[in-house]
Structure 1
Amino acid sequence: MNTRNTILSFSLIMLGACDGFLDQKPQSNLLIPQKAVELEQLLDATLLGINSTPGILEMSTDNLHITEEGFLGLTLIERNAYAWQEDVYEFLGSDWSVPYQQILAANVVLEQAGEIVPENSDDAELLIELRGRALWMRSQAYFQLLSAFAAPYSPGSANDSPGVPLRLSPNVSTFVDRGTIGEDYDQITGDLELAIGLLPEYAEYKTRPSKISSHALLARIYLAMEEYEKAGFHAGKVLEINNTLLDYSELDLAARYPFSLFNDEVIHHLEMMNYRHMNSGLTFVDSTLVGMFGDNDLRKELLFTPDEQGISFDGNYSGSRVRFSGLATNEMYLISAECAARRGDIGESMGILNTLLETRWVEGGFIPYTASNSEEALRLILMERRKELIFRGIRWTDLRRLNKDQRFATLVTRKIGSESFEISPGSPRYVLPIPPEEIQVSGIAQNPR
C-alpha cells in the first residue's frame, strides 16, 4: 500500500469529520491502514495536528494583557474569549475539531491493531505499543476537551454534569450524545492506566507516548480532578524514573529563546494551536505576574523580554515562539509538592519545592522556603506553580480547580478601552460554549453561559 496515500486519505477522513463530528460519514473508498507501520505513521502525523492542543484557553486566563489596539487586531474568537463573551465561536473552532481528529486517529489505530496479522515479532511488539500510544493520545485529547467544554470535575456532581461526546469507535456515522463528566474521566484515566502496561519506559522520540508520559499525564489529570493522592502517586512515579531539572544558571540569558526543543526536562512534547495573539507585538505578560519574580530569580530574565510597551514571553520549552503545552519534570515537582502539602507533609513539600527552585535562582541567591502549616505551604507552592508554568495551557484548569476553594479563588478582570470585564469564581463562563455548527449538525446540548 502507498503509505503517502494512506496519510492523505486519513487526513480527508478527519477533515470530513470536522464538519459536524457526530453526523459526518467519511467516504467509503478512502484507504484504511493495513500494516503496523502505516498505523504508526498516523500517530506520528504532526502536520495533521496529532501533537497539538487547544490554544484559545490562554486568552481567558490572567496571564495575558492585550492593548486596546492589539485587541482590535485579533480574530473575533480571540476577542470573545479574552472578554469572556457569551458567544465565543462563530463557526466550528479548531479547539473542538482538532482533539476529535486525534480521537478519530486513535480509534482507527485501536480497531485496526486488532485486525492486522503481524509479519514478524517486531511487528507484534509494535502493534502492542501502538495500542498504548493510541490510548494515550485519545485520553489526552479528551482531557483537553473536558477542560474547555465541560464543567470542572467535582466528585459530588461528576455523574450529574454533562461531559463531552465520548466516541470509542472510528464509526463516525453513529450518533453519540454527551455523557457525564464522571463517565468521561473514568474512561480516560482507565485508558491511561492500561497504556502504562503497553508502552516502553521511554519513547524513541519525545512526540510519542511512553510509560513515563502516561504517569505524567495521569498526574496532571488527577490534579485537575482534585484526586491529590493519585496525582501525587503518579508524579512520584515520574520522578522515580526521571527527576532531571535544567540548571537555569547555565542557560544563555541573552538568547532570544533560551530553552531548546526537547530539552532534558521535557517528558512529552505538545504544542498549542497557533492564534494571532501569540504572534502579536501588542500582547504582553500581565504585569502583576511579572512582579511576582524577585531580582535573583533567573526566570525573570530568561522568560521575559521587556520593551517600551510591555513585557513579552520568550520562555517556551519549544525553543521558539511556538507555545509548549506538553509535560515536563518541573510540573511533576510542583504536583508532588502540592500533594505532599495537602496530605500534611510540610517538610517533604518544602523539600521538593526547594529542590526545583534552587535550579532557578542565581547561584547562592536562593533562600529555601519554609512553612509552619499546610496552608502556608500550599500558598508558596501555588505561587511558584503560577510562575513556573506560564503559557503551558495549564492556568485555565488551575483557575477552575482553585476557584472552588475560597482561600485560593481569583477574580479576573480586564479593561479594554473604556469597558471593564470580569469573570468571577464559579462563573458558568469557565466553560466554553460548544461551537454552534456542531450543535446545529449533531443536536447535542449546549453549555449554559
Structure 2
Amino acid sequence: MISKLNIILLTVLVLASVSCGDFLKEVSQDEFEPSTTTAYTELLNGEGYCFSTLDALTWYMDDDVDGCTSYTPTKEQMAYKDVFTWQYDMDQSLKEALSQDQSTYENFYAKIMACNVVIDNVENSLGTESEIANVLGEALTLRAYYYFHLVNIFATPYNDARSTPDRRLGVPLVIKSEILDEGYARNTVAEVYKQITGDIERAIVLLEKDKVNNGRFRVNYVAAHLIASRIYLYMEEWDQVIDHATKAMAGAPKLVYLPDYVYNVPARPENSKNPVVSSDFPETIFVYGAMPGSMRFAGTPVCLSDDVVNSYTDNGDSRNGKYFKKTESYLIYPYMELKHGIAERGYVWRTAELYLNRAEAYMQKYKAGESSAGQLAVDDLNELRSNRITNYSDYQLSTAEDLEKLCKLERRRELIFEGHRWFDLRRYGMPQIQHKWIADEGKTTTYTLSEKDPSYTVPIPQAVLDRNKNLVQNELAPDRQGY
C-alpha cells in the first residue's frame, strides 16, 4: 500500500514530467519512503532545483531587442514572433511550434510542489539539526523565488499605481503538498508577496544558523539575502533592500575588474567556459537553469536594440565588447553566446546586483528627502562602474533625477539578458515599447506595446484554465496589429 507521502511524491512526479531532475524517475514510488534528511536533500536537488529552463521568454518582449534580418521566417520563428509582438495567444503558438508539453506556468508549479514536499516533511526526518535547517532553508528560498517569478509574469506589478496590491489578482498559492480536486483560485498580489516574504525571511534565519556553503549550485545564506533584497526592491521597502543587500555583501565575492577579465578561449570568447553567466565567473553567488534554446537560436530575426547598444556611452566601458560585440546588426545569437558562452547554466545571481539594488534603494531615500542617502547611492554606483570602465572618473552627486537615471541605466547595462529587464520595465510604470518585425525581403512592420498595456501581464495558459475552473484569466489585449 502506498503511503500518503508516496502519493504526494507520485503527484510531484506527474506534475514535473518535464522538470529538471531524474531523482524520482529512478526510484519506484512504492519503495521510496524518505526518512532521512539526506533523502529530502536529494529530492530537492532532483526536483526542486532547476537545471533546465523555466524561462517565459520575457527577454523577447523587452526593449533590449528589436527586429533584424530580412527573409521569410520559418514556422518556429513565427511562434517567436507572437512573443516578440506581445500577442495574447503567444503561449499556444510556442507550444505548437516547439512541441512543449507544459507551459512556464505549469513548470514553476511543478518546482513548487517539490519544495512543498520538503517543507512539509523534512523537519520530521532523521538528520542533524544543521542538515534539516539547511535543506528547509533552501526549499523555502526556492519556493519564494518561484512565486516571485510567477506573480511577476502572470499578475500586475506590486507597485502598480492604479490600485493597491490587495485589490488585484495574483496567482494561486499552493503551499501544501496535498492537491485540491477542485483546483485553486487566485490569491491577491498582496497575499502572494506576503507568502514570498514570509518564506524568504524564515529561510534566512535557517540558513544563517551555520552559514553552510554547498557550492554555487545550491542556495546559501548569501543567495537568500540577495533574493530578499530583490523582492523588497519590487515592493519599494527601501530599508529592507539596504539591510539584506548589505548582509549579502558581507559574504559575497568581490566585484571583478572586468577590463582585465580574460575568457578561457580568448580567440573565440563566445565559446568560453568562464563567461559572466556561469559558475566560473568570480562574482557568481548562485547559478541555475539552462540557457533557453531560443537564446541560442541561430538565425533568429531579433537583434540588440539600438537603444540599449547606444546606452554604453562611457569610453572604456568593457561591457561593450565583453557582454556583447559588434556583428552584423548585433544579432542576438552571437551576443548571447558571448555573455553566456558554452557554460553549463543560463542564469546567475551575482554580486553586481547587490550594488545595484542597494544603490536604487538609497537613491529613492534621497528622492524622499534623506540627504545623506544620495552619496551612499553614488558610492555603490561608483564601486560597480570603476570595476567595469577603464580609467574611470567617479560620478559626482547632483540632482535626484540624474541619480535615478544613472541607477536605471546601470541596471540595464550591467544585467542585460539576465532576466531582469522585463520585470524592471513593469515596476518602472510599464512604458511604451515598439518592436520592428522584418521579413519578406525587407518588409518592416512595427508593433506597439502601449503604456500600461494589458500584455505587460502574460495571460494564464488556456490549457490551465480548462483544467481549473476556479481560475480567472487576466485582461487580454486584442490581436495586435502592426503598421
**Normalising by structure 1, what TM-score?**
0.86
* Shift in CA distance, 154/272, structure 1 to aligned 2, threshold 3 Å: farther
1:321-346 deviation per Cα after TM superposition (whole angstroms, max 9, x unaligned): 67743311101101111111111122
Deviation (angstroms), 1:214:
1.0
Paired residues of 2:59 and 2:419 also in contact (CA < 8 A): yes
- Which one of 165, 169, 178 corresponds to residue 162 of structure 1? 169
Q: Which residue of 2 aligns with 1:259?
A: 275
Q: Give the 3-state SS of the residue equivalent to 2:458 in structure 1.
A: coil
Deviation (angstroms), 1:47:
10
Q: Does 1:341 align with 2:363?
A: yes
Q: Which residue of 2 aligns with 1:416?
A: 437
Q: Which residue of 1 aligns with 2:184?
A: 176
Q: Give the 3-state SS of the residue equivalent to 2:124 in structure 1.
A: coil
* Shift in CA distance, 272/402, structure 1 to aligned 2, threshold 3 Å: farther
* Shift in CA distance, 141/316, structure 1 to aligned 2, threshold 3 Å: farther
Q: Which residue of 1 aligns with 2:249?
A: 239
Deviation (angstroms), 1:50:
5.5
Q: Give the 3-state SS of the residue equivalent to 1:326 in structure 2.
A: strand
**Greater mean alpha carbon deviation, residues 278-287 or residues 346-355:** 278-287
- Which one of 287, 306, 317 corresponds to residue 287 of structure 1? 306
Paired residues of 1:336 and 1:352 also in contact (CA < 8 A): yes
Q: Which residue of 2 aligns with 1:396?
A: 422
Paired residues for 1:287-436 under 5 Å:
287-293=306-312, 294-311=314-331, 312-314=334-336, 319-320=341-342, 324-344=346-366, 345-362=373-390, 364=391, 366-403=392-429, 410-417=431-438, 418-436=444-462
* Shift in CA distance, 77/138, structure 1 to aligned 2, threshold 3 Å: farther
* Shift in CA distance, 12/77, structure 1 to aligned 2, threshold 3 Å: farther
**Greater mean alpha carbon deviation, residues 220-229 or residues 251-260:** 251-260
Structure 1: distance between partners of 2:171 and 2:154: 7
* Shift in CA distance, 134/276, structure 1 to aligned 2, threshold 3 Å: same
**Greater mean alpha carbon deviation, residues 348-357 or residues 324-333:** 324-333
Structure 2: distance between partners of 1:69 and 1:166: 45
Q: Does 1:185 align with 2:219?
A: no
Whichever residue aligns with residue 227 of structure 2, its letter is L
Whichever residue aligns with residue 39 of structure 1, its letter is Y
CA RMSD of aligned residues (A): 2.9
Q: Which residue of 2 aligns with 1:144?
A: 149
Paired residues for 1:89-108 under 5 Å:
89-90=91-92, 93-108=102-117
Whichever residue aligns with residue 38 of structure 2, its letter is V
1:150-195 deviation per Cα after TM superposition (whole angstroms, max 9, x unaligned): 1100385111111111001111244221110100000011110000
Q: Give the 3-state SS of the residue equivalent to 1:327 in structure 2.
A: strand
1:89-128 deviation per Cα after TM superposition (whole angstroms, max 9, x unaligned): 115643112211110110011122133244xx3xx42122
- Which one of 113, 122, 125 corresponds to residue 113 of structure 1? 122
Structure 2: distance between partners of 1:229 and 1:71: 49
Give 5+ residue unaligned stretches, structure 1.
19-26, 405-409
* Shift in CA distance, 222/51, structure 1 to aligned 2, threshold 3 Å: farther
**Greater mean alpha carbon deviation, residues 436-445 or residues 206-215:** 206-215
Q: Give the 3-state SS of the residue equivalent to 2:378 in structure 1.
A: helix
Deviation (angstroms), 1:372:
1.2
Structure 2: distance between partners of 1:184 and 1:35: 31
**Normalising by structure 2, what TM-score?**
0.81
1:273-309 deviation per Cα after TM superposition (whole angstroms, max 9, x unaligned): 6142432243422222112223411111111132234
Identity of aligned residues (%): 25
Paired residues of 2:141 and 2:203 also in contact (CA < 8 A): yes
Q: Which residue of 2 aligns with 1:270?
A: 288
Query: May I ask how many residue pairs the two structures share in their alignment?
Result: 426
Structure 2: distance between partners of 1:77 and 1:379: 35
Give 5+ residue unaligned stretches, structure 2.
1-5, 20-27, 96-100, 367-372, 439-443, 477-483
Whichever residue aligns with residue 222 of structure 1, its letter is Y
Paired residues of 1:55 and 1:393 also in contact (CA < 8 A): no
1:188-231 deviation per Cα after TM superposition (whole angstroms, max 9, x unaligned): 11110000111143521212111111110011111122222222
Q: Does 1:439 align with 2:441?
A: no
